[in-house]
Amino acid sequence: QVQLEESGGGLVQPGGSLRLSCAASIADFTRYEMAWYRQAPGEQRMLVASITGGGATKVVNSAMGRFTISRDNAKKTVYLQMNNLTSEDTAVYYCNAARNRRHWGQGALFTVSS
């Protein structure tokens, strides 16, 4: 059974930084591609960044240069470091683990506001 628990949400001022963490309960963590998605109010859930078990990363254009995804396979944890935040980054951020199927965390909300 796969369980994902996000942490690190909250309130951040524009231009600030935040790091989200996702602790995974997965027996073979390195076999899973991990990703962060976000869902803003009234919008569809969208991919933000992904990372393979070997560490290859992808970041969507809107986050490129500002967001960094990483993982610690020993801790079975994936991170999303977010810098230079704007109000458009306000959303619920979901951790995702994918192998034969997708697994989702419960989501972490953070708001960018002054």
Residues in the chain with pLDDT values less than 70 = none
- Quick one: pLDDT at residue 1? 85
What's residue 102's pLDDT?
A: 95
* pLDDT value of position 28: 93
pLDDT at 39: 97
Residue 80: what pLDDT? Answer: 98
**Per-residue pLDDT, 9:** 86
Question: Can you give the three-state secondary structure of the chain, one letter per residue?
Answer: CCEEEEECCEEECCCCCEEEEEEEECCCHHHCEEEEEEECCCCCCEEEEEECCCCCEEECHHHCCCEEEEEECCCCEEEEEECCCCHHHCEEEEEEEECCCEEECCCEEEEECC
